[in-house]
Amino acid sequence: MKAWIASFAVCALALVAAPALARAWQVDSAHSTLTFTNTYQAVAYTGQFRTFTASIDYDPADLAKAKFDVSVDITSLDTQNSERDSTALGADFFDAAKFPKARFVTTAFRQAANGDVTAAGVLTLRGVSKPVVLTVEFVPHGDAATLDVTAHVKRLDFGIGSGQWSDPAMIGADVAVHGHLTLDAMQH
């Protein structure tokens, strides 16, 4: 009987000491990307932000405690076209001199009946904060995982592309953003 009580006490203490957050993950920057796709004069192009940081707390079994906090260095923009990059970083678009960072922070996660997960959050870009929803695909591999997130952002909602650039026939209004993160479990 004493052994049973001792075992119960140890289990109860372990439950009380369990972390209150979802599992913390560290981003492997060398194997992670943040890309976007848009159109210019009806021709698709892809770009990326080469520098970003992300704090990821995620356990698919406990979405109530999940959280993403991503900060993007806007000046790390790379579309493989220096003229386009220079224009995009200027005052008519990202205005990177005034707004060098963008940030996305989740507010809630939801799982549909079919198992699909979405994350609602707030994107702050060019000094404007708006709600954005991500689709989330998380694949664990023991102490590692991959996380793919996709969102569609209305560039004009954030003041990206003013004047002649506000015409969606010139530059597409709907920008597809995709993050592919390779993650390693953080040790407690």
Q: What are the 10-residue block averages of pLDDT along the chain, 188 residues in total? A: 40 41 90 97 96 97 97 98 96 97 98 97 98 97 96 97 90 97 90
Q: Which two tokens stand for residue 112?
A: 């549909």
Q: What region, left, alpha or beta, does residue 145 occupy, with left being phi > 0 and alpha being psi -120 to 50 degrees? A: beta
On the CB side of 45, how many CA atoms lie within 13 Å of its CA?
16
Domains and CATH numbers, the chain: 21-185 (2.40.128.110)
Q: Which two tokens stand for residue 1?
A: 């009987």
Counting every residue written for the chain, the total comes to 188
Closest CA to 138 of 52, 59, 29: 59
pLDDT of residue 22: 78
Quick one: how far is CA 137 from the chain centroid? 12
